[in-house]
Amino acid sequence: MKASINAREVTYQIEGESGQAEDKVLLADSIDLTRGNSWSGAGYMVVEFLPAPEQQQLQAGLEALVREALAAVGLPVAADFPVADYHKLIGDDQQRHLAVVNLTKEYTMERLPVPAALLEARVSELCGHRVQAYNPWDQMRLFHLRLVRPGRSDNNPLHRDVWLPDYDDCLNIYMPVTGSTADSSLSLVPGSHWWPENRVERTQNGAVYNGVTYTVPAVKHTVEPLQLIRPNPGPSEVLLFSPYLLHGGAVNLNADATRLSLEMRFWSV
């Protein structure tokens, strides 16, 4: 499948059986936490996030979690090892990379380096609805790290989060930690949170993307041309986005830096 990111052509190889799609907009029957905002039609916005000391504490603490995971898979590193160099350490050892991903994909909230209440208050202010990082569907309070090496297929395929169970009605954040640039940060299709399902052909259950297996179903084809953009939040910023948007497929085109980012979801209180 062909798409473009910031007008540059990319190709995604997606395997998995297609399902039937209805003429239905998933967001129409759901809570839209972007509603009432100027960016509701686009489905995302980039904005200053936490006060500088807290944002820096959060980013430094998340880098430290990756170092901890590296030590746990048998690759101890110095306390100042830059996580942007992760790919130099792991190289093409896919098994070791997947072991690190396994340790960094689901953290319980007490591991967050700053109080979750800080992020909850700021996200509530930004979207104009009182939200908390508590998933009412599975009763979990989690955050996730994403490590995407340059030149590998570590990024997940293009998807809506709500194709998986337990992600309805929330709002997502993407916060850059290291190596997040105009060539590596999360990509999305503006406005696609309102596309009917029958405009998007997707796999039924999970997908194999460039040979890597993902649990999330993936886009195989769309009626509208797939023009992704990278909003690319800077170090002091955050990308707030609807999980109903088509997003992902965020290949890391950096020459030499691994992307580390924070991913966290918020639901109405």
Ligand X SMILES: O=C(O)CCC(=O)C(=O)O
Residues at the interface with Fe ion (CB under 5 A)? 161
Query: What's the closest the beta carbon of residue 79 comes to ligand X, in angstroms?
Result: 26
- When CB distances are held under 5 to 8 angstroms depending on the partner's kind, the choice from ligand X, Fe ion, none that residue 142 binds is none
Question: Which is it for the CA torsion 236, 268, 172, 215, positive or negative?
Answer: positive
- To the nearest 10 degrees (0 to 180), the angle between helices 52-72 and 94-104 is 130
| Cα–Cα nearest to 226, from 168, 170, 159, 156 | 159
Residue 206 backbone zone (phi > 0: left; psi -120 to 50: alpha; other: beta): left
Residue 171 within binding range of ligand X, rule CB under 6 A: no
x-or-dash pattern for ligand X, window 174-213, by CB under 6 A?
x-----------x---------------------------
- When CB distances are held under 5 to 8 angstroms depending on the partner's kind, the choice from Fe ion, ligand X, none that residue 186 binds is ligand X
DSSP code, position 224 = S
CB 164 within 8 A of CB 215: yes
Residue 230 within binding range of ligand X, rule CB under 6 A: no
Residue 250 within binding range of ligand X, rule CB under 6 A: yes
Residue 155 within binding range of ligand X, rule CB under 6 A: yes
Residue 146 within binding range of ligand X, rule CB under 6 A: yes
Nearer to ligand X, 69 or 177 (CB): 177
Tokens of 158: 């293009």
- CA distances in angstroms from 159 to 136, 155, 174, 241, listed in the order given: 22, 11, 15, 13
Nearer to Fe ion, 67 or 187 (CB): 187
Nearer to Fe ion, 156 or 258 (CB): 156
Nearer to ligand X, 52 or 138 (CB): 138
Nearer to ligand X, 161 or 169 (CB): 161
* DSSP string across 11-54: E--EES-B----S--GGGGS--TTTTSTTTTTTEEEEE-S-HHH
Residue 252 within binding range of ligand X, rule CB under 6 A: no
Q: Which of 190, 212, 263, 268 binds ligand X (CB under 6 A)?
A: 263
Question: Which is it for the CA torsion 163, 225, 254, 185, positive or negative?
Answer: negative
146: exposed, middle or buried (Cβ count in 10 Å: 0-12, 13-18, 19+) = buried
Tokens of 209: 């993307």
Nearer to Fe ion, 161 or 168 (CB): 161
Residue 247 within binding range of ligand X, rule CB under 6 A: yes
Question: Which is it for the CA torsion 104, 52, 33, 129, positive or negative?
Answer: positive
Residue 146 to residue 100: CA distance in whole angstroms: 10
x-or-dash pattern for ligand X, window 98-137, by CB under 6 A?
----------------------------------------
Number of residues that bind ligand X (CB under 6 A): 12
Nearer to ligand X, 51 or 200 (CB): 200
Query: What's the closest the beta carbon of residue 65 comes to ligand X, in angstroms?
Result: 16
Residues that bind ligand X (CB under 6 A): 146, 155-156, 161, 172, 174, 186, 247-248, 250, 261, 263
